[in-house]
Structure 1
C-alpha cells in the first residue's frame, strides 16, 4: 500500500513537472516539438508519451486545465455578495491565474474534447452571470465580449521576469477595470462572436 502510494505521488509530481514545462515551452513557441517539453522537464521522451498520446493531447490538457481554473475563479467570485466586488474578483482572479496567455496562444492548434466543450459552455455561463450582475455599474454599451477582450489584454502583458509580469498585470487590470465603470458610452461597435472565436477556427 505504501509503495503504491509512493509511486502515485511520484507520478503526480512528474505530471506536474511536465505540464509546467509544457506551459513554458509552448508559450514561447507553440510550434515547438514535444521533445522540447521532455528536455525542459528533465524527463525521457518515453515518460512523456506514457502520459500523453502526442503533442495535441498535451496541448488539449494544458488548455483544459486553464479552463477548469477559469471556472474555479468564476465560482469563487460568485460567492461575493456585492455585484461589483464579484465582477472585480473574477477578473483579477483570472488575470492572476494567467489563464488566457496560453489558451489564446494555442487556440486552433488542437481539437477540443467533448468534455472540454462542455466546460467551455459552463465557463461562459458563469462569466455571463457575473457580467449581468455588474452590468448596471458598467459603462453604457458594455457587453460580455468586452470582458473577454479585457482579459486578453492583461494576458498580453509579459516581460522576462515572472514577478514583474504579475506586478504589471495588477497595474493595468486596475486601469482596465476603471475604464469599464459607469461613465460615457463606450465608442464604436462591440466585438462580434466571429472576432472572438476566429482563432479556434484556424
Structure 2
C-alpha cells in the first residue's frame, strides 16, 4: 500500500532529478515551471517541498557534494591507487557532477554545503597524493585539474541533444561513445605524456566561483 510519505519521497526524487536535467539543458535560467513539468508534478507540489528555487538548488548542491564525497571515500578504500582514482572520476562523471556549475555565485552557500565541500577537497587531495606516490598519476596534475576535468566530462552535448530530439534509437551508441571519451581522458592522466601547458589552475576556478562577492 502506497502511503502519503512514499508519494512525497517519490515526488522529491523526481523533482531533484528533473532539476538536474533542466539545469543541464537551460543553465541558470532553468525555470520552476520547467522543473515541475519535467518531474510530472504541479508547481504547488514543488513549492510545498521547497519554498524557493534557491532552496531547491541548495538541496541539489548538497546531494551532489555528498555523492562526490562518497565516491572519493570508495576510491580511497580501493587498494589499487589508480583504480581508486579512475573509479572516482568515472563515478562522478556518470553522476553528472558539475551540472550545478551554472548556479555558482547565484545561490547562497550554506554551512552544510561549505563543510561537505571542504571534506570533498581533502578527499580528492588524498586521492591525488596517493596516486602520485604510487607513480600511477602524472606529477603535474593537481586536484583542481581533476575537479575541472570531471566538470567538463560531466555533460555530453551529443547525449543531451539526442534526448531533446527524442532519439532513443541513438542514445545507446552515444552512451558507449561517451565511455570511450572518458577512457581517453583518463589515459591522459597517466605518466609518460608531454608536460602540461600553462600554470596549474587555482582554487578560485572551483570553490571561488561559488562566492557572491
TM-score by length of 1: 0.88
Residues 1:14 and 2:11 are matched in the alignment: yes
User: What SS class does the counterpart of residue 161 from structure 1 fall into?
Assistant: helix
SS in structure 2 of the partner of residue 110 of structure 1:
coil
Post-superposition shift, 1:13?
Answer: 0.7
Unaligned 5+ runs, structure 1: none
State the partner residue of 1:130: 127
- Root-mean-square deviation (CA), in Å? 2.0
Structure number with higher helix proportion: 1
How far apart, CA to CA, are the structure 2 residues paired with 1:26 and 1:153?
15
Q: State which of 56, 59, 62 in structure 1 corresponds to 2:57.
A: 59
Alignment match, 1:47: 45
Note if contact 2:18-2:39 (Cα within 8 Å) is conserved in structure 1: yes
- For residues 157 and 37 of structure 1, do their structure 2 counterparts lie closer, same or farther at Cα, with a shift above 3 Å needed? closer
Q: Is the 8 A contact 1:38 1:48 kept in 2?
A: yes
Report the equivalent of 2:118.
Answer: 121
1:196 matched to which residue of 2? 206
Contact 1:157/1:168 (<8 A) preserved: no
Give the length in aligned residue pairs: 198
- How far apart are the structure 1 equivalents of 2:100 and 2:48? 24
CA contact (8 A) 2:72 2:124 kept: yes
Question: For each residue in 1:126-184, what CA deviation from the matched residue of structure 2 results, as whole angstroms up to 9, or x when unmatched?
Answer: 11111111113222322212111221221243222364553333112211111111123
> Are the aligned partners of 2:92 and 2:154 in contact in 1 as well (CA < 8 Å)?
no
1:29-40 counterparts in 2 under 5 A? 29=26, 30-40=28-38
The change in CA–CA distance for 1:197 and 1:53 in structure 2 (over 3 A counts) is same
Query: What is the Cα deviation at residue 34 of structure 1?
Result: 1.2
Cα distance in structure 2, aligned partners of 1:60 and 1:98: 16
Once structures 1 and 2 are overlaid, which stretch shifts more, 64-73 or 156-165? 156-165
Q: How far did residue 122 of structure 1 move?
A: 0.9
Compute the TM-score of the two structures, normalised by the length of structure 2. 0.84
Structure 2 spans left out of the alignment, 5+ residues: 164-170
Provide the residue aligned with 2:177 in structure 1: 168
Q: Distance in 1 between matches of 2:190 and 2:199?
A: 18
Change (3 A) 1:156 1:63: same
Equivalent residue, structure 1, for 2:106: 109
Cα deviation code 1:63-101 (max 9, x no counterpart): 21111111111111122101111111111111111122x
Cα 1:201/1:140, change in 2 over 3 Å: same
